[in-house]
Structure 1
Amino acid sequence: MDMRGWRAIVLSVTGMVLTTSCGYAAAIHAAEIPQERLTGTWSSPAGTSLTFSGDHTFSGTGFDVVEAMTGCARRGTLSNGRWAFYAGDGPMDPDETVTRGHHLRLSFDGDPACGVQVYLYGDFGDPTDPSMCPTRDPDDGCPPGGYLTRERADSPS
């Protein structure tokens, strides 16, 4: 085989490896957490704050800066709604009976057509200190200032 043939093979394999590794990035860092760990307040450096309750309701502020919500008609006025984990890895409906997960959906009371997927991340899936990102596609990553982290109960407000 000549040099051009080998170059074509190397470029093809490199392209497949990069495509596959980017596609698995979200799965590698996905952190499955129980509902008890989700409840509480999460905030981002960009100014978004979400407080999750055990009864599957949430309230929040700063949704006008969340890029994943650009399709929502009145995102600056949205402040509360319901949340639910997805039952599995595939394109399933969120289910409020599911008690743990690595991604969930927010549905807003003020705009029923507006819904946002939120992905939970940890350092290589470690759920000890998770963060979350509202995003359309977890493989795209989170925009700067978009990650939300859980506020600790002992931290000053």
Structure 2
Amino acid sequence: MDNKRAWRAVLLSLTGVLLTASCGYAAAIHSAEIPQERLTGTWVSPAGTSLTFSPDHTFAGAGFDKVEAMAGCAGRATLSTGRWAFHDVPAVPDETATRGHDLQLSFDGHPACIVRVYLYGDFGDTDDPSMCPTQDPDAGCPSGGYLKREA
């Protein structure tokens, strides 16, 4: 009987470790490395947020009041332009990088408002990528928060 309890404890412990590790790797599994030429263009979300990325590392957008990751940004409904750079952990944002797994957006006139955007694809697939502005890529994207590239 003690042997059964010991095995049960071991199995429960291993299950907990596996679940914790898999949740921590969720963003990495679905992360996609997007080249700059694939990033430039317009991306939209079902919630009404749109972002248009230019090759010169500027962006214009609308609907930022709907982006939960920007809740701490003052006047987020009025934000519309800024700069983008690929930002791969643990590096700092780099406007010379030509590809990346995530971005950093900084808004003109609002230096305190910086947003991370994670790039996703099924197991790294970049044919149909999506992006999500979020503070925690492992938590997933809120409903209506994913942006897809317009055709």
TM above 0.5, yes or no, is yes
Aligned to 1:38: 39
Is the partner of 1:20 in helix, strand or coil? helix
Whole-Å separation in 2 of the counterparts to 1:12 and 1:72: 41
Following superposition, the deviation at residue 132 of structure 1 comes to: 0.3
Asked if the contact 1:134/1:146 (under 8 Å) is kept, the reply is: yes
Aligned to 1:155: none
Following superposition, the deviation at residue 101 of structure 1 comes to: 0.5
Give the count of matched residue pairs.
Answer: 150
Describe how 1:1-157 pairs up with structure 2 within 5 A. 1-86=2-87, 88=88, 90-152=89-151
What stretches of structure 1 move > 4 A for 4+ residues in a row?
none
Whole-Å separation in 2 of the counterparts to 1:91 and 1:69: 22
Following superposition, the deviation at residue 148 of structure 1 comes to: 0.1
Following superposition, the deviation at residue 37 of structure 1 comes to: 0.6
Following superposition, the deviation at residue 6 of structure 1 comes to: 1.7
The residue identity in structure 1 corresponding to 2:18 is V
Deviation digits for residues 48-87 of structure 1 (CA, Å, limit 9, x no counterpart): 000000000000000001010011111111001000002x
Following superposition, the deviation at residue 107 of structure 1 comes to: 0.2
Deviation digits for residues 60-119 of structure 1 (CA, Å, limit 9, x no counterpart): 000001010011111111001000002x4x232100000101101000013110000001
Following superposition, the deviation at residue 125 of structure 1 comes to: 0.8
Is the partner of 2:112 in helix, strand or coil? strand
Whole-Å separation in 1 of the counterparts to 2:90 and 2:73: 21
Following superposition, the deviation at residue 3 of structure 1 comes to: 2.4
The residue identity in structure 1 corresponding to 2:112 is A
Whole-Å separation in 1 of the counterparts to 2:69 and 2:101: 17
Whole-Å separation in 2 of the counterparts to 1:92 and 1:146: 25
Is the partner of 2:14 in helix, strand or coil? helix
Q: Percent identity?
A: 75
What's the RMSD between the two structures over aligned residues? 0.9
Is the partner of 2:20 in helix, strand or coil? helix
Following superposition, the deviation at residue 5 of structure 1 comes to: 1.6
- TM-score, normalised to structure 1, is 0.92
